[in-house]
Structure 1
Amino acid sequence: MNRKLLLLLVACLILAVLAHAFFLHAWTEGRFMVGQNDGLQQMVTFKKLLYEQYTNGNFFYTYRFGLGGGTYSQLAFYFSTSIVFLLSAAVTFLLDSLGLIGTVDVVYWAKAAVFISVTRLTVILFVTTLVFRYISSRWLPAFLGAAVYGLSVIYFRHATYWEFFADAMLWVPLLVYGVERIIREARPGWFIFAVAVTMFDNFYFAYINLIFIGIYMLARLWIRLEANEIGVGQKVKLFVIGGLVGAGISAVSFIPAVYSFFHNHRPDYPFPVEAVDFSDNILFTSRYVIVPALFLLFAFTFFFYRKAMFRLFSMLSIFFILLHFSPVVASAFNGFSAPQYRWEYVLSFTLGAAVCAGMSYIHELSKKKFLMASAMVIAVYLIFFFRDEEMEFLSLPGIGVFFLVILTLIPTAGFVWSSKKSWYYFLGAASLINLLVFSNAVQYVISEMAGVYKVSEQYLHSDKYNGKEQRELLQEVQDQDAAPYYRIDWKVGYLNNTPIVQDFNGFSIYSSILNENLLYFYLYDLKVDMGRESVSRYSTLSNRANLYSILQGKYVVKKKDDTGNVPYGFQETARSKNYIVYKNTNLLPFIRTTDTIFTERDLEDANVLEKEHAMLEGVITARAETTGAEIKEVPDIIKKTRLTEVGAVYEDGKLTVTEKEGGIDLTRNEPVRQNGDFYLRFHLESLAKRKGFAVKVNDYRTTRKHNQSVYKTYVDDLVIRVPKANKLKIRLPKGNYVLTDLALYEEDYQILERAKKEAQEETHFDWSGNKLTIRYDNKQGDRFMMLPIPYERGWEVRVNGEAQGVEKVNYAFVGFPIQEGVNDIQLVYYPPFFQVSLLVTVVCMLLAIMLSKRRTIKKITKHER
């Protein structure tokens, strides 16, 4: 590395450190650069999970991801293929191997977040400066432009709340550099690399980045920056070839990731999206982008538009600013789902490039033009100030922004009037100070006003996240029961990723991309209430004993005051000051076989209890043909109850709760005489637009989202399990509701207890990473084996050396036919289309090496000329 590049790298590091001054100071006080919600529930949690997997040589699958899942594809949205994470994991592994760090847990990753961010920002500043320098600029303008990009609002927002979002900013300058290398030198190597790395790293932000670079390409076809650029036909040809080869290189990551995205389940966004929304104040208080005063000054210096580089980037900036005010565009950048403002980092890039260009031409700015541009800048700031009803005259944002505007205009005026280099450097320094002040102010707002200040080492060891009492109780259970594959139903509050944090196999997960089969199992097929309505997650088995026994639910942890919701057949086995552990006395074997086969078509009209019985007595397959197997009907006994209104009026399916809390009581006509549960089914909708609410049935409580929430499932058919009682009390808060389709089913658990009594001894099996080996002696002559492993594309099975198809059974799990006698079974999981996509990657890497050779490209261009 030559001296200039070394100095640049040091300057970038110093600027990145100063830009993180607030969070670095917070780190010394035990507070971390991690969001309280997704930051703690997903970012540090998934890093912990993947680091443990990868350092154990397991890259594809883990039983601990919810009910089990392919993390390579399902966590590709987060970190499984994130280059920044892979590098940070490699450094962590080295430090761990040398004994320089302690346990690599969520606390470690929370502590490391600010240092990873400083390193990332240093690289962004370094690379962007070099790209601007290559395009057409001197060092100071290039560095200042890079700072406008790197120290943007959206960088710190993303790096704090959703860390991997910020990684996308690394690849934008590389894509632009790749385009410029093609246009100026007819060399596609860097473009191939940039496309490959952005598509490999994260498919979601590759979508955004590639839309941006497509727009940039079109703009460059129209605006020439150099006289010796290659012809339009050559540009298009090399763009297409380079893009396809780069995409092919990324195939081993991109294809499995996109498959998982399309096989996730999330309800469509049902609300109309506004075409325009000008409420965001992009000069004072926007959470996404703050347009710098220097850009406005240059934008109102109209003769700058004669300069090609400024015209290119200022027009792109203005175009993207207009797009920012359109929720339709925000929806389009989010895959035409709910509007999300995550793409504005590309606007920050074009703003930085425009500032870079303007600084390159500022010596041509006359006094008259400066005064006119300054007047328009001040006028625009005043307009944005007074049109914002939330801005107060002496508010800190208002005073602060106007001060920074003055700090921009004064040195600019000094340079225009004197033409001295000292004023030019003063302007550069003042602009960097502006950015540093603003970036640390943004961190203050994120921390103090958005609750990030609560994320501390103390909080991470509290009972609100990962308490000592909780860990010790779980450890006691694990010490008593060393079997590796049973599950414990427990999570801290609404933290669905508690099992990953506290190192046990659980029933809950929170992730943007999940196995659609499991989501359908919970939401539609078995209607398992999760205690809280929300998308992108599943949790618990709603105290339904049949499902616990089938899916290895061996233990349940409850708070001491929650004894009314203990599942049938569970008995206390351990306790602590605040918690009790209950053990399932009816747990079924991990490996089960059967000769009784039902089909989903057979049970299309069955209620959920009949489906549970079918899973206990046999297996439910997705095969099209019917088998003729019949399940005993579980009758609806709602007519054996009488309905009484309590603090409410119920008529024609409409429930109006007039008291603070009210609803209906369902009282049995005959007293309950035996143990067991009731399954109460009903359809429930709130008629209020924006009012979430809780539903109570006896001692059971669950919550529902308001009707405008983007996290609402729109699954309003509920099934609530409660212990048998003479009276079932449905309670809702004051308001108006639709309450229909009431049904009541009785479960005495005779079928479960018979299944437990008839169950064979546990079959030994070996599970290592993505490979499962079973040796099963089929003495009963059963036709089918089913495992409590979620079904997803990628599972392959061989029985006695013969490959056969893995089937989806029991709506969401793995099953396959077996033979009489001894069955040697090998199951292996690879991400969807992994082998094919790996082959594509290798072939395209070879093509890239060929295309990147200068002689080859010269022959192509010479031939076309």
Structure 2
Amino acid sequence: MIKNLRNFFKKNYALVLSFLLPIIIMLGYFIFRQMYPFGKSSLLTVDLGQQYIDFFAFFRRTLLHDPSNFFYSFSKALGGGMLGEWAYYLMSPFNLLLLFFPGKTLTAGIMLLTLIKYGCAGMAFGFLLKKTNIQHGIALPLFSTSYALMGWFIANQLNLLWLDAAIFLPLIVYGLLQLLTKGKGKVYILLLGLMLIDNYYMGYMICIFLVLFFWWHEMAHYQNIRTIVKHLWLFILHSIAAVCLAAVVLLPTFFSLLDSKGQYTQESIGFKFEYQPLKILSKLVIGSFNFEQMPSGYPNLFIGSLALIGFLLYFMDGKFKLKERLTALIITIFLILSLCFEPLDLLWHGFQFPVWYPYRFSFIISFWMIYLAARSLTQMHLPQVWKIWLAAFIYGGIIWYVLDNIKKFTFISKQALSLTTLFAVLILLTLGAFSHANTKYLKIMPCLLLLISVIEVSVNAVYSLNNLSYLSQEEYSIPAVALNKNSHALQKYDSSLYRTGQVYSRTKNDGLSNGLNSGSYFSSALEKSIPDFYGMLGNPDGDNYVTYSNGTIISDALLNMKYFITAKNEGEVANKQPLAPLTEKPDLETYKSVLSNKLTRTYRNPNAVSLGYVSDKKLKALPKFYDNPINYQTQWLSDITASSDKVRYFTAVDFNEVVFQNVNQQINLTDATLRRNNLAKDAQVVFKFTPQTNDSYYLTLGSSLDSDNVTFYLNNRQLNQYNTFRHTVIVNVANHAKGSEIVLTAKFKKPSLWLNNFVLYQMNNKLVKKQLAHVKKQQVHITQTSQRSLTGTVNVAAHNQIFASTIPYSEGWHVKINGQRVQPYKIQGTFLGFNLQKGKNRIQLSYWPPYFGIGLLISVFVLLGLLFMSWKRKASFKKSKTK
């Protein structure tokens, strides 16, 4: 056993080092920064803490407890197909490691996952270099470590779902080389197919690069046109086979994208440079990354001094054919233009500008540069001294340019630029010193270069990651544990299907991670109809998120928000309340407290209507009401019950007193523009009113009244309200407050403030509850449920009635009434509806992802074909061997 291990390590020590070095470097940094489980901090930052970790918790819950979540989940906002989410976020095989990390230890699992991916990226690149005889021995980890710790990997460490692309890329390139040189295509098909299943988005970028790499390879090994045509046919045929292998994921995902990201495809493309191209050079410097670079920075291209110098030397290296180098130069120019010329940038991103994390494909450029550098800097072939001097001159020009413009690059410090210069000089001196050295001394060179390069990429990692702030372990674990307890308690209390609103939260994906149908969600693949609906309803929405934080008694009831979880007040908690409030909810005064623990209390909404109910057919014609949520909710409830158009559930009321402090006075407040009188002094307006009834009071706030422009205070404490919204929202400011003065203060953040849709409303609670009671009498009684099927019954008393639901419409839903299939349709531009018959109706709903069956058949067919070809080849080999 020990002997076998020694032989294995002796034979593969370079690959082992390629795997271990990045892990050791990054583990050392994580321990130094006291990341959990080595301290009180965590790796969670930005989207990793606000989005991905909740998807990982959902991944564990689905695989271990509820597999039906794989196809559909009511935890996705109001409900939605999940196959597209899995394809983008969760199909990485590395995620299986997270199954061993329950609850609050999930952050430790994320650290392990991150480290493993660093190691695998290094090993994959080392494998490519070894198998293609480009590098061997100690020189292998020299380039593989530069690859694993390149600037893109460090900057996107938090985007764990993308890191697999950097691992697969070298392996796919190896598979392509096997196909073109030996005619063996199975490895290429399997690896490219797996990449497309793992993450179709990054896989798409790799496919574009493979076209470029194929062209370069054919020019580098040019024989004749006939050979190129033959290779092109093999390349196209095997690439199509790889896509077909992934059809089980790609086909249904493509059609789900048409309802989500596909709705935001850029329609007009500007033929312009996005910035001055020379600014790209700033990203070749150590530590050229900070938080401001995430939403709208320059491409991350740091690869270390040796790789950059080797890349420059490649184009001067006479051992490569001029045709090869010219082709490489053209490809390089194309790649550089892709980093700054808008049409090419959009091409790489599927014709959509990325929201945050620009130039996501820059890992491909880094791979290209390091790969060419490894080809140039072989152990026994060092460049001539004049070429080293020329490379030094170019590198010096880069450093001089950055220094001369350093005030424009807020993400670069002079100290980091000095360190970049130091490592560049050390690398150049080492290459120069050994260029005429005796052969026996050349063995020392890779070790010395490895030492310098490892230190350099480590310094870059430290400088880059130190620019970010991270959640503490407690900031994640306390609310995560509390939400998990709430979820389990509710499931024991009520096992039926319902939605649960939140008055405190950690993220918009709390429901997804804890099995709560919370109505909030954050995902790049969110169907466009959902944010559109939330925008009309009076809740915050964006292209990729919705937050159910601003409900009224009407919306709570009609959306089946049966329970609400709230954090207890400071006085009810032994120590300081660690849970952050999400919104104001005085309406809880009319709901019943049913569960309580140390930190939270759960209320039951007696008005909650089932997920489906009988409605008048008028609802099919409900128009859109953007920026008028009061009218939308009024019309929604009225159309269900066929009430008169003159019915009023909300009445606009005046404030009793308005006090202007350092602000120009206005008589009519709604849509007025208020200005500071003295720009040097603070400005605020105080609004006072005293409710005359115990009804609910709501305030509407237009999009100009978000946290960028104003801070609101309610009775001398800051108003709990979601910070950003692009449509008018509704804020619940009072309930059961008859005779108590309510004081609302608006403190200016800018010289002026537009009171966009700023109106105070009183609800007629008695009338609303009467109407809701009528709807409840017509609700569907659900008898059997799962995440992708529902069965229920309802009695229809009259003709011209329809089944209305708050289940988002999808082609994947199939409906049967009394055993007969019926055709569903979309109502309210969002939800599932269909016609009903008078009398008793037994309703069956089932969900199956559109085109999943066809995709599965295609994938199975290709997989069987590969297995048959493999079997046939083995049989042929055995037959020839027996002869």
How many pairs were matched up?
Answer: 810
Instruction: Provide the rounded CA distance (Å) in 2 between the counterparts of 1:604 and 1:380.
Output: 55
Which structure 2 residues correspond to residues 397-546 of structure 1 after superposition, within 5 A?
397-423=416-442, 425-445=443-463, 447-452=465-470, 454-456=471-473, 458-462=474-478, 465-466=479-480, 481-490=493-502, 492=504, 495-523=507-535, 525-528=536-539, 530=540, 535-546=543-554
- 1:212 and 1:522 map into 2 onto residues whose CA distance is 39
- Matching residue of 1:276: 276
Q: Secondary structure of the residue that 1:13 maps to in structure 2?
A: helix
Is 1:747 aligned with 2:763?
yes
Cα distance in 2 for partners of 1:600, 1:434 equals 70
Which of residues 642, 649, 668 in structure 1 aligns to 2:664? 649
Instruction: Indicate whether 1:224 and 2:220 are aligned.
Output: yes
**How far apart, in 1, do the equivalents of 2:413 and 2:115 lie?**
34
Structure 1 residue aligned with 2:211: 214
- Letter of the structure 2 residue corresponding to residue 333 of structure 1: W
Q: How does 1:341-740 map to 2 (within 5 A)?
A: 341-360=359-378, 363-389=381-407, 395-423=414-442, 425-445=443-463, 447-452=465-470, 454-456=471-473, 458-462=474-478, 465-466=479-480, 481-490=493-502, 492=504, 495-523=507-535, 525-528=536-539, 530=540, 535-556=543-564, 557-560=566-569, 565-567=585-587, 569-573=590-594, 579-601=600-622, 608-616=629-637, 619=640, 631-634=645-648, 646-647=660-661, 648-649=663-664, 653-658=672-677, 660-663=682-685, 665=687, 673-681=692-700, 683-685=702-704, 691=708, 693-694=710-711, 700=719, 702=721, 715-723=726-734, 731-733=746-748, 734-740=750-756
Report SS of the residue matched to 1:824.
strand
- Paired residue secondary structure (1:461): helix
Contact 2:802 / 2:835 at 8 angstroms: preserved in 1? yes
Gap change, CA 1:316 and 1:73, over 3 Å in 2: same
What residue in structure 1 maps to residue 60 of structure 2? Answer: 51
Q: Which runs of 5+ in 2 are unaligned?
A: 290-299, 571-580, 877-883
Report deviation, 1:62: 2.0
CA offsets 1:720-740 (integer angstroms, 9 cap, x no match):
444378988572514223445
- SS of aligned partner of 2:684: strand
Shift of 1:567: 1.8
Which deviates the most, 129-138 or 260-269? Answer: 260-269
For the 8 Å contact 1:72–1:831, the answer to whether it is kept is yes
Distance in 2 of aligned mates of 1:446 and 1:298 = 23
Displacement after TM superposition at 1:72 (Å):
1.8
TM superposition shift of 1:127: 3.1
TM superposition shift of 1:321: 4.4
* Change over 3 Å in CA distance of 1:696–1:679 after alignment to 2: same
Aligned to 2:335: 320
Q: Which deviations, in whole Å up to 9, do the C-alpha atoms of 1:458-507 show, x marking residues without a partner? A: 44333xx4365x6656666555x323433332264562222344553323
- Which residue among 139, 148, 151 is the counterpart of 2:149? 151
Q: Secondary structure at the match of 2:359?
A: coil
2:87 pairs with one of 71, 76, 82: 76
Amino acid paired to 2:166 = M
User: What letter corresponds to residue 489 of structure 1 in structure 2?
Assistant: G
Instruction: Report the equivalent of 2:126.
Output: 129
Q: Deviations over 1:796-822 (max 9, x none)?
A: 122222222233334433333333444
Give, in angstroms, the shift of residue 246 of structure 1. Answer: 1.7
| TM-score of the aligned structures, taking structure 1 as reference length | 0.82
In structure 2, relative to structure 1, the CA distance for the partners of 1:47 and 1:579 (3 Å cut) is closer
- Give the CA deviation at 1:307: 0.9
Distance 2:130 2:703 in 1: 61
**Number of the residue aligned with 2:879:** none
- CA contact 2:503–2:549 (8 Å) conserved in 1: no
Call closer, same or farther: CA 1:345–1:394 in 2, change over 3 Å: closer
Counterpart residue type for residue 531 of structure 2? L
**C-alpha distance in 1 between matches for 2:525 and 2:265:** 15
Which sits farther off after the overlay, 18-27 or 692-701? 692-701
Please tell me whether the aligned partners of residues 249 and 842 of structure 1 are also in contact (alpha carbons under 8 angstroms).
Answer: yes
> Which stretch of the first structure deviates more once superposed, 407-416 or 328-337?
328-337
Q: Compared with structure 1, are the counterparts of its residues 853 and 216 closer, same or farther at alpha carbon in structure 2 (3 Å cutoff)?
A: farther
Shift of 1:559: 4.9
**C-alpha separation in 1, matches of 2:655 and 2:711:** 24
Match of 1:30 in 2: 39
How has the CA–CA distance of structure 1 residues 381 and 812 changed in structure 2, closer, same or farther, with 3 Å as cutoff? same
Does structure 2 retain, via aligned residues, the 8 Å contact 1:546–1:752? yes
Task: Please report how far the alpha carbon of residue 39 of structure 1 lies from its aligned counterpart in structure 2 after TM superposition.
Answer: 1.2
In structure 2, the CA distance between the partners of 1:11 and 1:198, relative to structure 1 (3 Å rule), is: same
Shift of 1:253: 0.8
State the one-letter code of the partner of 1:217: F
> What's 2:573 paired with?
none
Query: Displacement of 1:116 after TM fit?
Result: 2.3
- Check conservation: 1:694, 1:701, Cα contact below 8 A: no
TM-aligned CA distance change 1:497 to 1:57, over 3 Å: closer
Q: CA deviation at 1:33?
A: 6.3
TM-fit CA distance, 1:589: 3.4
Superposed displacement of residue 386, structure 1: 4.3
Question: Are 2:845 and 1:827 aligned?
Answer: yes
Question: Which residue matches 1:15?
Answer: 21
Contact kept in structure 2, 1:305 and 1:311, CA below 8 Å: no
Residue 183 of structure 1: aligned partner: 180
The CA distance in 2 between the partners of 1:32 and 1:731, in whole Å, is 36
Matched, 1:803 2:821: yes
Q: 311, 314, 317: which one pairs with 1:304?
A: 317
Write the letter of the residue equivalent to 1:409.
L
C-alpha deviation, 1:196, in angstroms: 1.7
Query: What is the aligned-residue RMSD (CA, Å)?
Result: 4.1
Given the superposition, is the C-alpha separation of residues 782 and 443 from structure 1 closer, same or farther in structure 2, using an over 3 Å criterion?
A: farther
| C-alpha spacing 1:231/1:854, structure 2 compared with 1 (3 Å) | farther
Change (3 A) 1:37 1:639: closer
1:292-311 CA distance string (max 9 Å, x none): 32234335545405514776
How far apart in 1 are the matches of 2:303 and 2:595?
A: 59
Q: Counterpart in 2 of 1:837?
A: 855
What's the counterpart of residue 106 of structure 2?
A: 109
Q: Give, in whole Å, the separation in 2 of the partners of 1:853 and 1:483.
A: 51
Q: Which amino acid letter does the alignment assign opposite residue 634 of structure 1?
A: R
| Alignment CA distance shift 1:718-1:697 (3 Å) | farther
Paired AA for residue 551 in structure 1:
L
1:649–1:657 contact (8 Å) kept in structure 2: yes
**Preserved CA contact (<8 Å) 2:704 2:756:** no
Give the SS at the match of 2:562.
strand
**Alignment check: 8 A CA contact 2:288 2:464 kept:** no
For 1:361 and 1:9, the matched residues in 2 are separated by 17
